[in-house]
Structure 1
Amino acid sequence: MLEVTHGDVAWIESLGEIFCLTFIKQVEETEALKRLGAVPDTLRPRTLQEAQDAYYSYEAGYPVFAFVLNLGTWALLIEPDGFKASLIEPLTALSRGTEVVSVQRHEYADHGFRYAVDGTLVTGFEPTWPQVRWGSEPDRLVGKMRAAGLDPVPPEDEDEDDTYISRAYIPAFLLAGLITGAVPHPDTLTGQVLSAEIEPWFNGAPPSLPHGPTDSGMRAALEAAPPRLLRTVAARETMRLATVLNLHTTPGLAEAVAAAERGEPVTISPESELGTHIRSWLIRSRQAGGSLNDPSAQHKMSDDQRTAAHMRAWFVNALKGALWPEPLAAARCALYPLTQGPPLLRDAAQEAAILHALRGDQSN
């Protein structure tokens, strides 16, 4: 077992109030960044300070960066100010064909620990309360948890308040070291480190599924519909949204959606013509949201420009879903703006027509 103490890992506090550290086994550094959604033309060595400066910059588009270290058998992804790898969809994508251990600190939400193998979450918990665990094998790491100072089964005579662990992300990082046998020295983060801007739209992970239509009839119709009809519904609704937002002539868009409707695999690279447009829409959306909390940039977008940027964010989320090969997920994502989006994207007559088409097919 790795001989490391809490003092050897406490330096991670210097990364700030929000960060995610993710170990990925036997995956080369550039590939690890790519799996997280690295934009290839942003791949280069940079300092943590450079990334932080860009993160707060309107002109840069408030980007999120990830850094990567080679620890031998394992690569370590570092997300300062980020937590994408801790989310279930990117996590499972990162772990396909390998193992992943992720530790998250988030002072304004929850900390997190995740251990995944080949697309399956094995063990997950909030390190502050390690007695509550989930996953396919929630007790798999119990021995190492105790060694790291995360008691998974507190004494019966302690109440819930007594089981609270302060600064629990530190023993959680120690636990990651016990699993991987690899803990970086803080000096490895000084100077320039290989990094890239992360855009999760391109990371190959499944879309984050919305709750879908709230209408029980629509939900039932979607669940009963055949795959070919679900793909058609997803494709046609995506192109309707594109037309509403005057994006339907975007090069490559109609062709990609049509291929998905035929059931063909579709991959959009960030460097492609369509990918470049998608990146620009995502950047504009970040600027719209980020500038509201940035006193130096609040005047740089009008209300109409912010609204347009937010509408395109709704669209790119629907588009990612519509291109996903699982038909029900594709339809749910594509229909989300129609059924629960802002007024500009909703259309009662279109919703009724889709419901009729779904039910009509099922009656044949």
Structure 2
Amino acid sequence: MSGHVRVLALLGRLRSGSHNRQLAEAAVEPALEGVGVTLNEALAEVSLSDADIDTDEQRPARPMSEAWARILAMTATAADYRWFGERFPDLAEAYCFTLVHNLPPSHLLGRLGGRTESSRTGTAATVDAAFDLLGRSDNARQFIAMTTVGDWTLLIEPNGCLGVGEEKALPASAGTRWISHFVDINGRDSFLWAEDTAKRLMFEPGLPDHRWGTTPDELLDAMHHSGFQFWDETSDTAEFLATEAAFALAEHLTGVRVTPELLRDTTFVCGSTEIG
């Protein structure tokens, strides 16, 4: 696989004329082939000195933890999610993970036309509940588990796919951002980025060369960095990490890092909705 290296430059001095900024900007254009340099100004949201905008009035600042979360999201790769299939094999076999911005679980469930189910702790319990509900409803209802992570609601469907289904996902994304990825037991997969009912990007993680939506190429650099295998980068020895890369790209878009502890220890708000 041909190399694709991404360099993230964090600007410690934010003033436009600072030597640090000039050096970082000078490194962008002459970067070697296969090397991308990205300037990141997430630290500008922390209360650091910036002579261009500092005034007598105190600037609002975000906590350092939020700024670092945004920075880490830009560096996430498939390697950060190798644990998923190893530690959660039953869920990894067939799942849909969806992140929805600024929409609490109860409102999200309402948009999906769902009804409330008993809460469950840990994804192992949600997998059992999902298959139990499928059996009791004659495969007519999908069990979903939700929790809030910062400004986002994480929705998990064991053995489900409504998060990437345009019929429900696009209308439900009205006024918000919707990031979803799915894989089923037959190896079919999909990634959806929607905003305010518009499909910005959709593709199959296993076939990232084929993309569609209103902005199909906007995330190409991030897709390379996340670890998707494009046709000109494949080889017989390359490791296939499409699922893991999908998690990394979702983190890039949302700043939300899914962790083993989150999946194991969270008590999820649960519901169900009709399939189809």
TM over 0.5: yes
What is the 5 A alignment of 1:1-364?
1=71, 2=73, 3-13=75-85, 14=88, 15-40=91-116, 42=117, 44-47=118-121, 48-57=123-132, 58-59=135-136, 61-62=138-139, 63-150=141-228, 154-155=231-232, 166-191=240-265, 192-200=267-275
Question: Aligned partners of 1:185 and 1:101: how far apart in 2?
Answer: 17
1:169 and 1:24 map into 2 onto residues whose CA distance is: 19
Distance 2:97 2:205 in 1: 14
Shift of 1:163: 11
C-alpha contact (below 8 Å) 1:92/1:120 kept by paired residues: yes
Distance 1:16 1:146 in 2: 22
Shift of 1:165: 6.8
Matched positions, count: 195
**Do the aligned partners of residues 107 and 61 (structure 1) sit closer, same or farther apart at CA in structure 2, a change above 3 Å counting?**
closer
Instruction: Deviation per CA, 1:5-55: give whole Å up to 9, x if none.
Output: 434323332123110001111111221232233213x2x421434443344
Aligned to 2:21: none
Cα distance change, pair 61–73 in 1 and its aligned pair in 2 (3 A): same
Report percent identity of matched pairs. Answer: 29
Q: Is the 8 A contact 1:125 1:134 kept in 2?
A: yes
CA distance in 2, matches of 1:26, 1:184: 17
Cα distance change, pair 83–20 in 1 and its aligned pair in 2 (3 A):
same
Q: Is the 8 A contact 2:227 2:242 kept in 1?
A: no
- Equivalent residue letter for 2:84: I
Query: Helix, strand or coil for the counterpart of 1:130?
Result: strand
Greater than 6 Å deviation, 4+ residue runs: 160-165
**Counterpart of 1:64 in 2: which secondary structure?**
strand
Larger radius of gyration: 1
Paired position in structure 1 for 2:65:
none
Shift of 1:182: 0.8
Change (3 A) 1:59 1:32: closer
| TM norm structure 1 | 0.49
Q: TM-score, normalised by structure 2?
A: 0.63
What's the C-alpha RMSD, in Å, of the aligned pairs? 2.6
1:112 offset after TM fit, Å? 0.9
Matched AA of 1:184 = V
Displacement of 1:147 after TM fit?
1.4
Higher relative contact order (CA 8 A, sep 6+): 2
Letter in 1 for 2:104: E
Task: Looking at secondary structure, tell me which structure has more strand per residue.
Answer: 2
2:211 maps to a residue whose letter is R
C-alpha distance in structure 2 between counterparts of 1:163 and 1:68, whole Å:
38
In 2: Cα distance, 1:108 partner to 1:188 partner: 26
Measured at CA, do residues 24 and 164 of structure 1 come closer, stay the same or move farther in structure 2, by a change above 3 Å?
farther
**2:125, 2:137 → 1: CA distance?**
11
Distance 1:30 1:110, change over 3 A: same
Letter in 1 for 2:80: D
- Counterparts in 2 of 1:36 and 1:97: CA distance versus 1, 3 Å: same
Equivalent AA in structure 1 for residue 195 of structure 2:
V
